Structure 1
Amino acid sequence: MPDIQSLPLPWLAALFVASALLIAYFGSKMAAIADVLADRTGLGEALIGAVLLGAGTSISGIVTSITTAASGAPELAVSNAMGGIAAQTMFLALADIFYRHVNLEHAGASTVNLGQATVLIILSVMPIMAYAAPQIAFFGVHPVSPIMIAVYLIGLHNAHSIRQEPMWQPKETPGLRVEADDIENDPRSTPLLASLFAGLVLIVGACGWVVGESGLALSGELGISQGVVGALGTAIVTSLPELVTTIAAVRRGALQLAIGGIIGGNMFDALFVSASDIAYRDGSIYHAIGERALFWMALVCLMTGVLLLGLLRREKQGPGGIGWESVILLALWLGAAVLQVALG
């Protein structure tokens, strides 16, 4: 592996920006493929968004968290994970601006997304509990890390069950857009599309490694705390695929795919902390982080709670043609970003 951290500052900045552009470009190609695969597999937009699109577009983020944790930067690794979830939740508010018919959470109602959002809150709370619990580690891994992985898998199984045998249904309104409204006509075969998606995942993952290495080096060169670089630097860059694919999905009319991609991606991003704990070899990563990372964990719980209420309330339209939950999500993220930058 090339030693990126030894490069001069201009090269580090150029690599960071170039990787961001590549992540955004190739990440944008994933939404259309995932939308077609959702129709062809019969799994549905919300579930495909949660699993395929969510995990696929998150590959750069998990590579960043694992490599920085292995390099002995636990604060950057965890802040990258939680900052990414916060940024991606805020991206739904930006996508709401692009969908001008009704509030995005009203039109893209899905019981699968409700279930996924609930699991996300559980996954976000568990690292906080580990942080406050006694310092325990087996082979350098805290017991909460494998439990989080189990909760994620149970959540996916639960989402599949909700789709197969739903006990709740969103009320039909003129603004509700169902998956049948989105007709795919891609001439490419399903195996070819799956192969293309896998190739894009590899490219985005490689860019994620470059982002992590250059971000860690920039933190040292510029004297910026790892928490700020992680939550507002690498987190935003590695989350660019989610922003691009979400807006692309909204423009295609695949609203449940857009919302499911964000919530499912956030669920997968929560596992970045588990993966970082395994990669971090100096004990439990939960007891190596500071209050900055804890702040972003709490913010993720708050923002996901607001999003969940918005999905349940299904307001048709709020200020500026978007929902009140979108306004609140934007305010929460911007307020948190300003606060963290001010603290240095």
Structure 2
Amino acid sequence: MFVYISFTLAAIFVVFAAIKLNKYGDQISRQTAMSGAMVGGLLIAGATSLPELTTSVTAVYIDNVDIAVGNMLGSNVFNLLILAAVDLYYRKHKAFNTVEPSNYFPSIMFGVILTTTVIIAMVLNLGFSIYNIGFEMYILVALYIVSVKLFESEEPEEQVEQEAGVTPIHKVIRYFIFSAIAVLLAGSVLSISGDLLAAQTGINSSFVGSVLIAASTSLPELVAVIAAYKIGNYAIAIGSILGSNLFNLLLLAFTDAFYQQGPILQGVSYSMIVIATLSLVMMLVTLYMLMRSPTQATIKYIIPSTAIIALYLVVSYIMF
């Protein structure tokens, strides 16, 4: 009974903290020279990915690499599912028609490259490591640093004048940090409680990590995207998902540093390749949504989002 109560309370706190996180992130975007895509792709993405880190590191210590890796890869899949589902629900807004695609190319293209690197590492299974960390992880870190540099090199938006009655930027940043800490703590409790609940069902670790726990730790992203859509800030909604996926791949390298039995990707089951491939395909569909010509026909607009949702359901069913 305690596990059920802790899971429910943690879920409530994650939702509350994520709403605040998105609110203050939006204010930072409006009051500084940072674009909505950059705020979503770096600030909010990093904060909402904190529960994934805690869960995966914990899984490493209990020697369950499928949960550790599956949580990261599964979260990336679930994040894209969230974006597709919310965009489908708010299909009349046609959010992807209103954003500037070039703002998201660094995050989504590097997401594709990093995910492909992970897939190749798992398929080849070379086991080459430096200080017990897979060589591919050094590549992930290097590519992530390059992607951040591209964010920094983007032309900044004009500085917004401080309006009367608006919360000062230093307080907004402080509130953002408090909200991020709340997401970390509540999200960690949510993940651990979800892990205990899943363990009682006897379902295999691959499904638990890549579907059940991944869905739990992606709850902050879900709330952040819905909140961003409600206030019409689609740049933060899309940027937070793509940035979070990129950040999760960086955290995969960080997780490998805690795994002392060799490269962590060499100890996972075959199903992790399936999940990583699913993530790659979903990213490519999302890239198409960004690059295609704007369409006003609702049926034509929702086809990619519907395809992402259907693909996720089919693969999850097969895994289960």
Instruction: Give me the TM-score of the superposition, normalised by structure 2.
Output: 0.91
For 1:242, the equivalent position in structure 2 comes to 221
Q: 2:235 aligns with which of 256, 263, 269?
A: 256
- Deviation at residue 272 of structure 1 after TM alignment: 2.7
CA drift of 1:49 comes to 0.7
Counterpart for residue 107 of structure 1:
98
TM-superposed deviation, 1:251: 1.4
| 2:107/2:243 contact within 8 Å kept | yes
Q: Residue 186 and residue 205 in structure 1: after superposition, are their counterparts in 2 closer, same or farther (change >3 A)?
A: farther
Q: Aligned pair 1:200/2:179, yes or no?
A: yes
What CA distance in whole angstroms lies between the structure 2 residues aligned with 1:295 and 1:185? 53
Alignment match of 1:270 (pick from 249, 252, 261): 249
* Alpha-carbon offset, residue 281 of structure 1: 2.0
Contact kept? 1:98, 1:247, Cα under 8 Å: no
Q: Indicate if the aligned counterparts of 1:70 and 1:276 stay in contact, CA closer than 8 A.
A: no
Distance 1:16 1:274 in 2: 28
> For residues 205 and 103 of structure 2, what CA distance do their matches in structure 1 show?
35
- Counterpart amino acid of residue 130 in structure 2: F
CA distance in 2, matches of 1:160, 1:186: 30
Percent identity, please: 25
The aligned amino acid for 2:50 is: I
- Counterpart of 1:155 in structure 2 is 147
Of 209-218 and 23-32, the range deviating more from structure 2: 209-218
Matched letter for residue 74 of structure 1: V
Structure 1 residues 102-251: aligned runs within 5 Å: 102-131=93-122, 132-161=124-153, 163-164=154-155, 187-251=166-230
CA distance in 2, matches of 1:218, 1:186: 46
Contact 1:124 1:301 in 2 (8 A): yes
Pairs aligned (count): 317
**Match status 1:18 vs 2:9:** yes
Q: Does 2:80 match 1:89? A: yes
**Structure-1 separation of matches of 2:186 and 2:104:** 29
TM-superposed deviation, 1:227: 1.2
Q: Does structure 2 retain, via aligned residues, the 8 Å contact 1:125–1:301? A: yes
Structure 1 residue 219 displacement after superposition: 3.9
Which amino acid counterpart does residue 338 of structure 1 have in structure 2?
A: Y
Aligned: 1:54 with 2:45: yes
Per-residue CA shift, 1:60-100, capped at 9, x if unaligned? 11211122122211100111111111111111122213435
Once the two structures are superposed, residues 200-258 of structure 1 have per-residue CA deviations (whole angstroms, 9 ceiling, x without a partner) of 11121122332343334334332111111112211111111111111111111111111
Shift of 1:301: 0.5
Q: Give the Cα separation in 2 of the matches to 1:130 and 1:308.
A: 23
Letter in 2 for 1:261: S
User: What does the per-residue CA deviation read over 1:286-311, in whole Å, with 9 as the maximum and x for residues that have no partner?
Assistant: 01101121111001100000000110
C-alpha displacement of 1:318:
4.9
Secondary structure in structure 2 of the residue aligned to 1:222: coil
Distance 1:186 1:280, change over 3 A: farther
* Partner SS state of residue 133, structure 2: coil
Provide the aligned C-alpha RMSD in A: 2.3
SS class of match (1:126): helix
CA distance in 1, matches of 2:46, 2:142: 16
Deviation at 1:185, TM superposition (A): 8.0
| Letter paired with 1:274 | A
Partner of 2:291: 312
User: For residue 80 of structure 1, what is the aligned residue in structure 2?
Assistant: 71
Distance in 2 (CA, whole Å) between partners of 1:228 and 1:30 is 29
Name the amino acid aligned to 1:87: F
Q: Is the 8 A contact 1:110 1:256 kept in 2?
A: no
Pick aligned residue for 1:66 from 43, 46, 57: 57
3-state DSSP of counterpart to 2:104: helix
TM normalised by structure 1 equals 0.85
Aligned-partner Cα distance in 2 for 1:111–1:36: 23
291 and 306 in structure 1: CA distance in 2 versus 1, 3 angstrom threshold: same
C-alpha separation in 2, matches of 1:93 and 1:229? 22
Task: Note if contact 2:73-2:275 (Cα within 8 Å) is conserved in structure 1.
Answer: yes
Deviations 1:166-213 (A, max 9, x none): xxxxxxxxxxxx999xx9987211111111111111121122332343
